[in-house]
Amino acid sequence: MDMLIAVMAACLYFLALGLVVPGLTNNNGIKTKPVFACAVVAIALHILLLKDLILGGQGQNLSIMNVASLISLLIAAITTAAMLKMRVWFLLPVVYSFAAINLTAATFLPGAFITHLETHPEVLLHISLALFSYSTLMIATLYAIQLAWLDHKLKNKKSLLLNPNIPPLMMVERQLFKIILVGNSLLTITLVTGFIFVQDMLAHGKAHKAVFSLLAWGVYSILLWGHYQKGWRGRRVVWFSLIGAFLLTLAYFGSRFVKEIIIGA
């Protein structure tokens, strides 16, 4: 049953993607309602699938594949909701592809990392904040890539920028920093709750998570300060965003990837 749900959800994600891509390569308008409908049904199936994968047994199965699928679900849900208010068309192909691939991998390449968060609600709060902060900052990374792409097209005077489906450069930049501000605020709270509620946060084997998370927080904080106080823009902003995302990914998935995927422990 899980496999059927995964295939259906992936197909709907790719159908939504297929409805978006033609509008990015020509000046034809993208029909919001069909894209939104396909995405909403795909997200609903994705939720149903993850409910079974994570909560289907004793405790919660937070394997790296399940966590990656959960993060891709959060990103897909946030960007789909944003579709109704902002021109996020450029982001959707990456977001929906990411969601489809992750949910398929979680289904067909199952792993096990059982936790019992029901006995530690404060840890559940910390993990929830971590997931939302990571998802938000990954959306910011996609915005940074879009910003770099638009800047490149603008400098090369590409007519593609006349496409009504492509947002103006300044709009993308404003949205980027709003998202980074929200994401970094969530990351700040995540770090604070981690040091308060997770007693062995700096223990051997876990310290790297705190170190890389703090480094990422420092990168994003410097970026925000540089933009609002020094007027930083352009490539420097893109590089800071990418570095912050890389450090945060190492913090969240580094050791888990080695243990679960490479070693198979």
Residues 24 and 76 in one domain: yes
Q: Say what the pLDDT of residue 137 is.
A: 96
Handedness of CA 144, 145, 148, 149 (dihedral sign): negative
Residues 74 and 195 in one domain: no
Q: Which residues contact 150 (CB under 8 A, 6 or more apart)?
A: 161, 166, 167, 169, 172
Residues 192 and 248 in one domain: yes
Residues 128 and 169 in one domain: yes
Instruction: Supply the range of the domain harboring residue 196.
Output: 120-265
Mark which of 95, 116, 137 sits at the end of a domain: 116
Handedness of CA 228, 234, 240, 245 (dihedral sign): positive
Q: Say what the pLDDT of residue 159 is.
A: 55
Tell me the per-residue pLDDT of 196-240, one tens digit each, with 9 for 90 and over.
887 766 665 667 888 899 999 999 999 999 999 999 988 899 999
Residues 134 and 261 in one domain: yes
Per-residue pLDDT for 167 more than 90? no
Q: Say what the pLDDT of residue 257 is.
A: 62
Tell me how crowded residue 16 is: count the other CB atoms within 10 A of its CB.
28
Residues 110 and 157 in one domain: no
Assign 153 a pLDDT band (cuts: 50, 70, 90): confident
Name beta bridge partners: 115: 60
The residue with tokens 């977001």 is 95
Distance in angstroms (rounded) separating the CA atoms of residues 54 and 62: 6
The residue with tokens 């709003």 is 178
Residues 110 and 134 in one domain: no
Whole-number percent of the chain with pLDDT over 70: 91
Mark which of 71, 87, 116 sits at the end of a domain: 116
Residues 228 and 111 in one domain: no
Assign 86 a pLDDT band (cuts: 50, 70, 90): confident
Which has the closest alpha carbon to 162: 152, 175, 153? 153
Distance in angstroms (rounded) separating the CA atoms of residues 107 and 184: 31
Q: Say what the pLDDT of residue 264 is.
A: 52
Mark which of 116, 145, 168 sits at the end of a domain: 116
Assign 259 a pLDDT band (cuts: 50, 70, 90): low
Residues 109 and 164 in one domain: no
Q: Say what the pLDDT of residue 209 is.
A: 85
Distance in angstroms (rounded) separating the CA atoms of residues 66 and 108: 11
- Yes or no: say if 128 and 71 are a contact pair by the CB < 8 Å rule: no
Which has the closest alpha carbon to 237: 180, 199, 186? 180
Residues 265 and 137 in one domain: yes
DSSP state string for 30-69: P-HHHHHHHHHHHHHHHHHHHHHHHHSSSSEE--HHHHHH
CATH number at residue 28: 1.20.120
Structurally, how many domains does the chain consist of?
Answer: 2
Tell me the per-residue pLDDT of 50-81, one tens digit each, with 9 for 90 and over.
999 998 777 788 888 899 999 999 999 999 99
Which has the closest alpha carbon to 27: 97, 89, 83, 84? 89
Assign 117 a pLDDT band (cuts: 50, 70, 90): confident
- Yes or no: say if 9 and 103 are a contact pair by the CB < 8 Å rule: yes
Whole-number percent of the chain with pLDDT over 90: 55
In this structure, what token pair is assigned to residue 161?
């920028």
Tell me how crowded residue 215 is: count the other CB atoms within 10 A of its CB.
17
- Yes or no: say if 143 and 175 are a contact pair by the CB < 8 Å rule: yes
In this structure, what token pair is assigned to residue 108?
């067909």
Q: Say what the pLDDT of residue 219 is.
A: 97
Residues 58 and 9 in one domain: yes
Tell me the per-residue pLDDT of 181-201, one tens digit each, with 9 for 90 and over.
999 999 999 999 988 887 766
The residue with tokens 């490479």 is 262
Q: Say what the pLDDT of residue 223 is.
A: 97
Tell me the per-residue pLDDT of 237-250, one tens digit each, with 9 for 90 and over.
999 999 999 999 98
Residues 244 and 124 in one domain: yes
